[in-house]
């Protein structure tokens, strides 16, 4: 009875177990079973060997990855050290420029004293400054609330900061401005009271000479003649998509920059050799989304470093800076009263061409442009 129960509980997989039943197995059957298990044992040994081999390969791969990670970390550390050195050099250059700026301020005070001395010896300032004139500047009433970005301004326009409680007065005759500056202190009648203001010359610091080391970039191109009425991002995306394809003669685009003033773009490729072949072809037809492709021009991109620059000072001979103006009237009324006062010859004034007043608590930027009448003094 027990033998019958055991036989019913046997696993039915004939490949893995030897059946133990009521009938005894023959010697040949046992031999075959033994051979079969020997083969399975050999197969298992082979599998173990393969697993060991894969383990060794995985350990070798992990070791290579670790070595590569260490190399990348070393490169990153070297790059950080290089950036630190560059930052130190920048700080030193900044300190040097600050010291130079301080010297310029000291020279400015000295020059103001010399200007007043020269103005006492001449009746007309324009007669003394006819030699060495390179640019005529005058304030024409234009102002701006925005501080300009750092960079080189190549237009005939100079921005001059105007503090609160001051006014810029432009006269038709340079001699009037010179006379008021020479007197310096003036008492202005404002209805029932008097205010004391100071007349000062307006000096502009302008770029006089600039030297740059220019070189043709081996990996950059300048793309011009771009279509209008398309956003900056869309233009850059379409250009990168087109010139990023090898079938168009391009390659992987590493960086892109849009030049708003000239409505053109600079593309930087990851590899050298791409830019020269595009520059040689010159023109391309790029699809920007319309029915027809748009013709663009490709030219070399120049890299430049400023090697030397010089600045000079210009004296605006028809413009006077009034300082020390209190906030006792609203802006328009005070502007009118100042204009009336300095138009009178009895007050040492003359015909006022323009007057701009900046109230206390405010700051703005005055825009000086080319002057066809007055001649500034070069310093």
Q: Are residues 302 and 323 in the same domain?
A: no
Residue 226 lies in a domain: yes
Q: Is residue 22 part of a domain?
A: no
pLDDT of amino acid 1: 43
Between 9 and 198, where is the model more confident?
198
pLDDT, position 147: 45
Domain limits for position 155: 134-209+310-378
φ, ψ of residue 170 in degrees (nearest 5): -110, 120
The verdict on pTM exceeding 0.85 is no
Distances (CA, A) of 256 to 151, 236, 242, 253, 287: 20, 7, 13, 7, 18
Task: Pick the last residue of a domain from 121, 145, 166.
Answer: 121
pLDDT-derived band at 153, boundaries 50, 70, 90: very low
Query: Does residue 204 register a pLDDT over 50?
Result: yes
Q: Bigger pLDDT: 292 or 277?
A: 277
The proportion of the chain whose per-residue pLDDT surpasses 70, expressed as a percent, equals 80
The SS3 of residue 275 is: helix
- Mark whether 217 and 292 lie in a shared domain: yes
Q: What is the mean pLDDT of residues 331-348?
A: 89
Is the per-residue pLDDT at 144 higher than 90? no
* 197 and 343 assigned to the same domain: yes
Query: What per-residue confidence (pLDDT) applies to 119?
Result: 60
Which has more pLDDT, 146 or 241? 241
Does residue 126 fall inside a structural domain? no
Phi-psi region of 282 (alpha: psi -120 to 50; beta: other; left: phi over 0): left
The residue-averaged pLDDT of 177-195 equals 88
User: Residue 18 domain-assigned?
Assistant: no
- Number of separate domains in the chain: 3
Task: Give residue 376's pLDDT.
Answer: 39
Together in a domain, 315 and 229: no
73 and 205 together in one domain:
no
| Higher pLDDT pick, 290 / 236 | 236
Nearest 5 degrees, angle CA 202-CA 336-CA 367?
35
* 205 and 216 fall within a common domain: no
Final residue before a domain boundary, out of 269, 285, 308: 308
More confident residue, 209 or 365: 365
Predicted pLDDT at 371: 67
């Amino acid at each position: 009875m027990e033998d019958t129960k055991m036989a019913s509980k046997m696993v039915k997989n004939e490949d893995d177990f030897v059946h133990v039943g009521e009938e005894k197995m023959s010697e040949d059957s046992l031999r075959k079973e033994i051979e079969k298990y020997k083969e399975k044992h050999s197969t298992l040994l082979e599998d173990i060997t393969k697993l060991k081999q894969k383990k060794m390969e995985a350990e070798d791969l992990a070791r290579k990855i670790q070595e590569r990670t260490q190399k990348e970390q070393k490169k990153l550390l070297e790059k950080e050290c290089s950036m630190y050195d560059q930052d130190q050099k920048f700080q030193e250059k900044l300190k040097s420029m600050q010291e130079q700026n301080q010297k310029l301020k000291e020279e400015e005070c000295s020059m103001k004293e010399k200007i007043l001395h020269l103005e006492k010896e001449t009746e007309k300032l324009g007669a003394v400054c006819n030699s060495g004139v390179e640019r005529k500047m005058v304030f024409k009433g234009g102002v701006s609330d925005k501080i300009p970005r750092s960079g080189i301004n190549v237009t005939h326009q100079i921005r001059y900061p105007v503090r609160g409680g001051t006014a810029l007065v432009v006269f038709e005759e340079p001699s009037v401005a010179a006379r008021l500056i020479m007197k310096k202190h003036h008492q202005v009648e404002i209805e029932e009271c008097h205010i004391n203001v100071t007349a000062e010359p307006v000096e502009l610091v302008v770029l006089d000479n600039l030297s740059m080391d220019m070189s043709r970039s081996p990996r950059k191109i300048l793309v011009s003649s771009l279509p209008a009425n398309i956003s900056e991002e869309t233009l850059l995306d379409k250009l990168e998509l087109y010139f990023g394809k090898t079938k168009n003669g391009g390659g992987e685009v590493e960086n892109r920059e849009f030049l708003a003033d000239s409505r053109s773009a600079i593309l930087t490729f990851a590899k050298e050799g791409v830019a020269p072949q595009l520059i040689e072809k010159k023109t391309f037809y790029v699809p920007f989304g319309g029915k027809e492709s748009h013709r663009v021009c490709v030219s070399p991109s120049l890299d430049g470093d400023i090697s030397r620059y010089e600045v000079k000072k210009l004296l605006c001979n028809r413009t006077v800076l009034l300082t020390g103006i209190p906030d006792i009237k609203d802006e328009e009324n005070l502007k009118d009263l100042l204009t009336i006062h300095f138009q009178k010859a009895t007050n040492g004034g003359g015909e006022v061409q323009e007057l701009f007043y900046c109230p206390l608590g405010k700051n703005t930027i005055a825009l000086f442009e080319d002057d066809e009448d007055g001649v500034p003094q070069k310093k």
